[in-house]
């Protein structure tokens, strides 16, 4: 094969993270010849720098916190975490940043992997530049799926690149614990990484531009997590922006806030948002703007095209791995149906060709201590959407199962009820262990289950899930 030879496939997938892998899995299952292009590690951000390493780091932290709230265990877990063991546990879950297993999986489904940087080179064509500079062209008979994900977005601060700040990648892959860590941001990455590194011994200063943490959730979620971080020893400052950052010859980072405060640390993490990884993938060759989020319909086909798909973070519908994988299953089915000449959207009673969960039933768990979990709309979002709603709140400490789970259990649950249809528009829970409760709420929201039916879904006693009974009682009786 020469460097200029064009190889034909039915489908070319740009990006081999969980989203790209799932698109390829579905198209291969339908018998379509599929190529996957990856410039880094097969398995993507989630496997090596996001979901897996962050949760591997957090699990020992949360387990120790839970044990400290249980009689008979409290005295046994007062010492520090074994940092080396925690980091080794993280390394195991990232396969030590080697992708052999993921490559074998791709080969097992019959997809062909092309290593290198992939760029669109016109309609249905992808040019792949290898590490040695050679180029090959892949032509797609039916579809190209852009699954390149997102990257950390850094603020426009003079000299920031010279400081070499942490992003989510460095925060989840660091080899040692910094003595002092500044975390800039108040979202999921900021709160989770502040939780991890504070527990591992760093002195954490959390600088939040807004009024509180987790601004996309109900306000009480951020409030409870802020209380816990402060009690753990973190210095939390809200309404604070960073004006400048420098790193001295001794390696010390100095951040100056808009209020004039000067904060010193060993490392600084910016967790200030995400940007699409579309700036260098050849979008201009097909009339699209480089660096932009890509607009799609519910089959994940890019607006104005009949061959290009954008799946996962790049379409900005829901920047979560589980939602990206959900979209990938939809996109793979839609691509396969169109390739076979089968009408989509109406051809499957499961709605397998339309991603509708992204519109009203997106679940998310923040793995802090306490955990925060939410699905659907917050009260404010439901009101802004024009729904006539009512919020029903329950203190989780009133639930018998919560008291058994932990002494002094602190938590709160809220369901947002549509008063006209008497269904749930959203649910938020904060407290130890609530992440495992959110799927029941997701079913209720996605299925638009009437509250009158939920009344007959009896929660097991004594579990924290009995909060459902307390919420329904509070709605019915008031």
- 8-state DSSP, 52: H
Interval 369-422: pLDDT, tens: 999 999 999 999 999 999 999 999 999 999 999 999 999 999 999 999 999 999
- 8-state DSSP, 398: G
DSSP 3-state percent helix, strand, coil across the chain (nearest 5): 35, 25, 40
Using alpha carbons, select from 88, 111, 102, 84 the residue that is nearest to residue 45: 102
The pLDDT of residue 73: 93
d(C-alpha 192, C-alpha 425), whole Å: 26
- 8-state DSSP, 117: E
E strands, 32-134, are: 34-38, 112-115, 117-120, 125-129
Mean pLDDT, rounded, for 334-351: 80
Per the prediction, the chain carries an average pLDDT of 96
Half-sphere exposure in the Cβ direction for 27 (13 Å, CA): 32
Mean pLDDT, rounded, for 361-367: 97
Q: 3-state DSSP call for residue 157? A: coil
The pLDDT of residue 345: 62
Same fold, 160-272 and 370-477: no
Q: 3-state DSSP call for residue 351? A: coil
**What is the DSSP secondary-structure string of 4-37?**
T-EEEEEEEEE--SHHHHHHHHHHHHTT--EEEE
- Element (DSSP H or E) covering residue 150: strand 150-152
d(C-alpha 419, C-alpha 47), whole Å: 42
The pLDDT of residue 343: 80
In whole angstroms, how large is the CA radius of gyration of the chain?
A: 24
Across the strands, what pairs with 144?
12, 308
Interval 246-304: pLDDT, tens: 999 999 999 999 999 999 999 999 999 999 999 999 999 999 999 999 999 999 999 99
The pLDDT of residue 1: 42
Q: How far is CA 398 from CA 218, 394, 408, 432, in A?
A: 20, 8, 11, 14
- Residue 123: how many other CB atoms lie within 10 Å: 15
**Counting runs of H as helices and runs of E as strands, what totals does the chain give?**
16, 21
Predicted confidence (pLDDT) at residue 347 exceeds the cutoff of 60: no
d(C-alpha 130, C-alpha 469), whole Å: 58
Give domain limits for the chain. 6-43+99-151+276-357, 160-272, 370-477
The CATH number given to 6-43+99-151+276-357 is 3.50.50.60
DSSP H helices in 293-437? 321-339, 357-360, 379-384, 400-405
Interval 59-109: pLDDT, tens: 999 999 999 999 999 999 999 999 999 999 999 999 999 999 999 999 999
The pLDDT of residue 346: 58
CATH label, 370-477, candidates 3.40.30.10, 3.30.930.10, 3.20.20.100, 3.30.390.30: 3.30.390.30
400 near 462, Cβ under 8 Å? yes
392 near 477, Cβ under 8 Å? no
Whole-model pTM over 0.85: yes
- 8-state DSSP, 122: S
Mean pLDDT, rounded, for 34-53: 97
d(C-alpha 415, C-alpha 469), whole Å: 12
- 8-state DSSP, 433: T
Interval 101-148: pLDDT, tens: 999 999 999 999 999 999 999 999 999 999 999 999 999 999 999 999
Mean pLDDT, rounded, for 134-163: 96
User: 160-272: what fold?
Assistant: FAD/NAD(P)-binding domain (3.50.50)
The pLDDT of residue 201: 97
């Amino acid at each position: 094969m020469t460097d200029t030879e064009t190889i034909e496939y039915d489908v070319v997938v740009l990006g081999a993270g969980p989203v790209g892998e799932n698109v390829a899995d579905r198209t291969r299952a339908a018998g379509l010849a599929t190529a996957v292009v990856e410039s880094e590690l097969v398995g993507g951000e989630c496997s090596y720098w996001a979901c897996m390493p962050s949760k591997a780091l957090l699990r020992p932290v949360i387990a120790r916190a839970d044990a400290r709230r249980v009689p008979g265990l409290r005295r046994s877990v007062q010492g520090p975490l074994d940092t080396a063991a925690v980091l080794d546990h993280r390394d195991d879950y990232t396969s030590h940043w080697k992708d052999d297993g993921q490559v074998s999986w791709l080969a097992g489904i019959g997809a062909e992997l092309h290593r290198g940087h992939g760029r669109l080179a016109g309609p249905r064509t992808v040019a792949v530049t290898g590490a040695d500079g050679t180029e090959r062209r892949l032509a797609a008979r039916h579809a190209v799926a852009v699954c390149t994900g997102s990257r950390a977005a850094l603020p426009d601060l003079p000299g920031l690149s010279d400081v070499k700040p942490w992003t989510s990648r460095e925060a989840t892959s660091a080899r040692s614990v910094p003595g002092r860590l500044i975390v800039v941001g108040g979202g999921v990455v900021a709160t989770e990484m502040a939780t991890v590194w504070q527990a591992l011994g760093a002195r954490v200063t959390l600088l939040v531009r807004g009024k509180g943490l987790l601004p996309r959730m109900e306000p009480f979620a951020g409030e409870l997590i802020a209380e816990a971080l402060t009690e753990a020893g973190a210095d939390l400052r809200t309404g604070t922006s960073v004006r400048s950052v420098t790193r001295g010859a001794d390696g010390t980072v100095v951040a100056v806030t808009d209020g004039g405060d000067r904060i010193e640390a060993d490392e600084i993490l910016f967790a200030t948002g995400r940007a699409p990884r579309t700036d260098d993938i050849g979008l201009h060759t097909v009339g699209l703007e480089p660096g932009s989020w890509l607009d799609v319909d519910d089959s994940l086909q890019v607006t104005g095209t009949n061959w290009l798909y954008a799946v996962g973070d790049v379409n900005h519908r829901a920047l979560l791995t589980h939602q990206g994988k959900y979209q990938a299953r939809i996109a793979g089915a839609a691509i396969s149906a169109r390739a076979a000449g089968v009408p989509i959207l109406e051809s499957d009673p499961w709605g397998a060709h339309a991603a509708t969960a992204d519109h009203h039933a997106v679940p998310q768990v923040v793995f802090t201590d306490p955990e925060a979990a939410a699905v659907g709309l917050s009260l404010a979002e439901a009101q802004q959407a024009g729904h006539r709603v009512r919020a029903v709140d329950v203190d989780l400490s009133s639930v018998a199962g919560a008291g058994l789970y932990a002494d002094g259990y602190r938590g709160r649950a809220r369901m947002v009820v549509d008063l006209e249809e008497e269904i749930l528009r959203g649910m938020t829970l904060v407290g130890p262990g609530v992440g495992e409760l959110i799927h029941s709420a997701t079913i209720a929201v996605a299925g638009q289950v009437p509250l009158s039916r939920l009344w007959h879904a009896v929660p097991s006693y004594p579990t924290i899930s009995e909060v459902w009974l307390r919420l329904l009682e509070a709605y019915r009786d008031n």
